[in-house]
Amino acid sequence: MEKNIISLVPTGLEGEIRLHIEKVKRQLEPGSALLVSGNVNVFYTTGRFFRGYVWIPAEGEPVYFVVKPRVYSGGTEKMEYIRKPEQIPSLLVEMGYEMPRKVGLEESELTYNDTLRLMKLFPDAEVFDSTPVLRNARMVKTPMEIELMRYDGERQAQAYSKVSGLYRSGMTDVELQIEIERELRKLGCLGYPRVAGNLMEINMGSVLAGDNADTPSPYEFAMGGAGADPSLPGGADGHVIGRHETVMIDMNGSFNAYQTDMTRVWTAGELPELAEKAQRCSERILRTLEREALPGREVCELYFRAVEIAEGEGLKDYFMGHSQQSGFIGHGVGIELNEQPPVAPRCKTVLQEGMTLALEPKFVIPGTGPVGVENTYVVRADGLECITHFPEAIQKFDGATDQQG
Amino acid sequence: MEKNIISLVPTGLEGEIRLHIEKVKRQLEPGSALLVSGNVNVFYTTGRFFRGYVWIPAEGEPVYFVVKPRVYSGGTEKMEYIRKPEQIPSLLVEMGYEMPRKVGLEESELTYNDTLRLMKLFPDAEVFDSTPVLRNARMVKTPMEIELMRYDGERQAQAYSKVSGLYRSGMTDVELQIEIERELRKLGCLGYPRVAGNLMEINMGSVLAGDNADTPSPYEFAMGGAGADPSLPGGADGHVIGRHETVMIDMNGSFNAYQTDMTRVWTAGELPELAEKAQRCSERILRTLEREALPGREVCELYFRAVEIAEGEGLKDYFMGHSQQSGFIGHGVGIELNEQPPVAPRCKTVLQEGMTLALEPKFVIPGTGPVGVENTYVVRADGLECITHFPEAIQKFDGATDQQG
């Protein structure tokens, strides 16, 4: 079978990938270089996922070392097929590159053994952690990345617009989640949310109903939930959704390499005033942050402002959880669900235009369940631009109105 | 809200977890210990996932150091809540443990930075890689683990029994996959297949139709596929399933902490003799290995036997791929999809009773697609016991018989 010519950097993306590489290179000292091999960073600096390594020197063009698949040709980038990383140094010398004084490896992402193996390739170089460099580059999105995320937000909103009609009386939270997963997938969701680190194991998202939201999680999610099995402790636990419970939908928005993060709340019945008040508070926090999150301000200011508003309304005990409270109200989002920066008290990162943030001021109301709104935003010169357009108010499930209370 | 008493090691699993711990301890030298923190290994040595660390000394009882959630009490195990791992050494001393001469850390799983941080806790100890110890322990399953996997196999087969009826003429491979995902989830599939390493990114599995199966993958799967987006290059690519294409279903079988791995093939039309012959060859390879895979034999013998049979039938060019061929015909399976041992030419691991293996002799036939069978087996004294019971022959989609060719 004949194969078509496939360039490693996809045709049409050459300029975009050059922007990504430049954002990385700008952070490098003269005489230093990165050897990139983490999946997400390979994708970011190539526009494609392959198994191999991307060499990014402070001076000169990047070089792509491909282990597999061996299907690429015809691109303008410098590329070499290799069997193992030990071939890289001599190939670099042959190509006229000087051995760097400092080499960056993804020490916060690669395993200890993989890192040691790569360190041995550069015995005379000082090794530094390249994870912050790559996370910083990815933190501020290009216009094309923002357009991809805008598409994610539109598709995610389309899927959320089906939620009301998917509910049936007597349904469990897991059953509802399965129908939402299907709608997302039918709209093109890839169903594989990439996350940084090993503390966010999740399938396609979280459907959290009633007091299950108050089950503390071992993971780094904003909310908890017991999960359907002890081996995956988070989200829906399989109970029948109660009429006066809230149901928080926080499902995966990855319709391309990027993703949006959006949360909305539904219910079948009437809610106590405390839940309605907390929902209004969440919306007020978002309106405030949308105005005040201006380039130049520190990210932690957003966190403190949100806490201040929640406390001012006497809702502190329910904010970001009840039995266990999360220490953040949002996070960067992009190729990974949890990119830089965390919107947390110790984050001194300065807001910049083009950063993408998911803000999720949420509350857990005992006896009722979770309330609140999460949107994904782009930081603009005059505040936050929302890219997850969907009604924020708590919505009624269709077919729930004729039920007994 | 009041919380129930929850013991860290789940009630009723104490004996099972003791078996797991014993399998780890048996491999430890006197005076050595493991500090376990990888998700899968924490689960294996606890029966529950929490964020924290499991201390397993060669001598004495294990100690559980829990960061979160702080909901456990009432168990008989030794447990301490901690904020950070730096508290562990002094707590161990307080509890009367001697500092070990050698400490095992999961150097093939933890990041470089996480490993360095844990190394500093034991400045006087020699550090070794505990990943092989833990993988070895997990490789041979207990009777309870086998029962959990037997349940997975039954559920997975139930879902596969719906596949014929899910097909509609004109459907794309992605559309069919979405309906299978839903059936799996409705039967209790958790939808989160854990894998070892970073070279197996996948959502709920692979539906591979026609020549898409011949698209080489960057990942370590047996088969390839372009995927629906360049950012997730594997499996279904969104094309309409052709009448005379084969459709290979290799979807996720994780209905608890464990999983089975099973592949079957469907088609809507007639297939060329070459495809039928390759399918019969796959079945013959499995029948042969089921008899010959006896405790005491080296795993690589299974690989060579399979290659020998495929070559003997003149099918070498199609075996385990066509444009790109995989270097293995199976793998261990359990909590992770790719456990030890790989059924590959260099694997000298000796077969033992209780090992669980997925064997997947597959072929890619140009112009037709992938054929072959994958089953999950338990190694028994007299050969392999299959736990994925489902007809192996290529099956016809319902509603496909009245179509035009």
| pLDDT tens per residue, range A322-334 | 999 999 999 999 9
What are the tens digits of pLDDT across the range A51-83? 999 999 999 999 999 999 999 987 889 999 999
Q: Find chain A residues with C-beta within 8 A of B211's C-beta.
A: 1
* Position A232 pLDDT exceeds 90: yes
Q: Using an 8 Å CB-CB cutoff, list chain A residues near B107.
A: 111-113
Distance, in angstroms, between A51 CA and closest chain B CA?
5
Put simply, whether A381 touches B (Cβ < 8 Å) is no
Single-letter code of the amino acid located at B127: V
Please work out, in degrees rounded to the nearest 5, the angle formed at the alpha carbon of residue B67 by the alpha carbons of B63 and B70: 95
Sort out which chain A residues have CB atoms less than 8 A from B43's CB and list them. Answer: 231
A233 in contact with B, Cβ within 8 Å:
yes
Nearest CA in chain B to A49: B231
Looking at residue B400, what is its pLDDT? Answer: 67
* Maximum CA extent, chain B: 78
The closest CB to that of B203, out of A68, A179, A191, belongs to: A191
pLDDT at B99 over 80: yes
B175–A181: do the CB atoms touch at under 8 Å? no
**For B176, nearest residue in chain A (alpha carbons):** A186
Q: Where does A98-169 have alpha helices with state H? A: 112-119, 131-139, 143-160, 163-166
- Return the beta strands (E) in B264-392 as ranges: 264-267, 330-332, 339-343, 356-359, 362-365, 369-372, 375-380, 383-386
pLDDT tens digits, residue range B357-398?
999 999 999 999 999 999 999 999 999 999 999 999 999 999
Closest-CA residue of chain B to A227: B190
In terms of CA atoms, which chain B residue is nearest residue A175? B186
The whole-angstrom separation of Cα B390 and Cα B383 is 19
Which class for A126: exposed (0-12), middle (13-18), buried (19 or more C-beta within 10 A)?
exposed
Q: Is the pLDDT of residue B287 over 80?
A: yes
Three-state DSSP state, A63: strand
Contacts A–B by Cβ distance under 8 A: 170
Tell me, yes or no, if B370 comes closer than 8 A to chain A by beta carbon: no
Interface of A with B in 57-86 (CB under 8 A): 68-71
Q: Nearest 10 degrees: CA dihedral of A286, A290, A294, A300? A: 10
**Given a cut of 60, is residue A2 above it in pLDDT?**
no
Can you tell me the distance from the alpha carbon of B52 to that of A130, in angstroms, rounded to the nearest whole number?
26
Instruction: Tell me the chain A residues in contact with residue B109 when contact means C-beta distances shorter than 8 Å.
Output: 111
Cβ of residue A162 closer than 8 Å to a chain B Cβ? no
What pLDDT is attached to residue B401?
56
Contact: A324, B39; criterion CB under 8 Å? no
Of B1, B204, B224, the CB nearest to A214: B1
Cβ within 8 Å, pair A49-B204:
no
Q: Nearest-CA residue of chain B relative to A70?
A: B216
Paired sense of beta strands B395-396 and B264-267, if any: parallel
Q: Say if residue B30 is preceded by a cis peptide, omega within 30 of 0.
A: no
- ipTM rounded to 2 decimals: 0.96
pLDDT band of B2, cuts 50, 70, 90? very low
- For residue B405, pLDDT over 60 is answered with no
Cβ-count burial of A371 within 10 angstroms (0-12 exposed, 13-18 middle, 19+ buried)?
A: buried
**Cα-based distances in Å from B76 to B12, B39, B96:** 12, 22, 17
Among the partner-chain residues B191, B231, B256, the one whose CB lies closest to the CB of A231 is: B256
pLDDT recorded at residue A1: 38
Average pLDDT over residues B169-197: 96
Cα–Cα distances (Å) from A103 to A61, A82, A123, A278, A369, in that order, read 16, 20, 10, 49, 49
Q: Which of A71, A107, A178 sits opposite B113 (nearest CB)?
A: A107
- Assign B395 to helix, strand or coil: strand
DSSP-derived 3-state class of residue A127 = strand
CA distance B383 to chain A (A): 31
Would you call A325 an interface residue with chain B, using a CB distance cutoff of 8 Å?
no
Nearest to A109 among B111, B181, B194 (CB): B111
Confidence of residue B4 (pLDDT cuts 50, 70, 90): low
- In this predicted structure, what is the pLDDT of residue A405? 39
Residue for token pair 């000169």: A60
- The pLDDT value recorded for residue A404 is 45
**Among residues A130, A258, A239, which one has the least CA distance to residue A188?**
A258
Q: Which residues of A touch B219 (CB under 8 A)?
A: 51
The residue-averaged pLDDT of A193-209 equals: 92
**Cα separation, B36 vs B130, whole angstroms:** 8
**CB-based contact, B120 to chain A, within 8 Å:** no
Is residue B5 over pLDDT 80? no
> Rounded distance, CA A304 to CA A287, Å?
15
Report pLDDT digits (tens) over A6-45: 899 999 999 999 999 999 999 999 999 999 999 999 999 9
Alpha helix segments (H runs only) across A140-219: 143-160, 163-166, 173-186
* Distances from the Cα of A342 to the Cα of A327, A348, B110, B347, angstroms: 10, 10, 22, 44
**CA torsion, ordered A270, A274, A277, A281, to nearest 10 deg:** -130
Backbone phi and psi for residue A395, each to the nearest 5 degrees, phi listed first: -105, 150
> Which pLDDT does position A293 carry in this prediction?
98
Report the distance separating Cα A381 and Cα A375, nearest Å.
18
Chain B stretch 86-105, residues whose beta carbon is closer than 8 A to a beta carbon of chain A: 105
**Mean pLDDT confidence for B257-282:** 98
Q: Which of B179, B202, B366 sits opposite A1 (nearest CB)?
A: B366
CA distances from B115 to A113, B57, B75 (A): 10, 18, 29
| Interacting residues of B209 by C-beta distance below 8 A, sequence separation 6+ | B173, B236, B239, B241, B242, B245, B246, B247, B248, B369
pLDDT of residue A399: 73
Chain A residues in contact with B73 (beta carbon < 8 A)? none
Spatial neighbors of B280 by CB under 8 A, at least 6 apart, are none
Contact A199 B51 (CB under 8 A): yes
Residue A3 has pLDDT above 60, yes or no: no
Task: Check CB contact of B322 with chain A, cutoff 8 Å.
Answer: yes
| Mean pLDDT over the full length of chain B | 95
To which H or E segment does residue B158 belong? helix B143-160
Q: What is the pLDDT of residue B404?
A: 45
Question: What confidence category does residue A401 fall into, taking pLDDT thresholds of 50, 70 and 90?
Answer: low
For residue B216, give the nearest of A69, A109, A192 by CB distance: A69
| Residues B226-233, mean pLDDT to the nearest whole number | 94
CA nearest A191 in B: which residue? B203
Q: Find out whether the peptide bond into A123 is cis, omega within 30 degrees of 0.
A: no
Which H or E run contains B110? none
Q: Which residues does residue B129 pair with via DSSP β-bridges, in sequence order? A: B105
Nearest-neighbour CA in chain A from B5: distance (Å): 13
**pLDDT (0 to 100) of residue A309:** 98
Work out the percent of chain A whose per-residue pLDDT is above 90: 94
Question: Is residue B3's pLDDT more than 80?
Answer: no
Sequence-ordered list of residues with C-beta below 8 angstroms from that of A279, at least 6 positions apart, any chain: A265, A363, A371, A372, A373, A393, A394
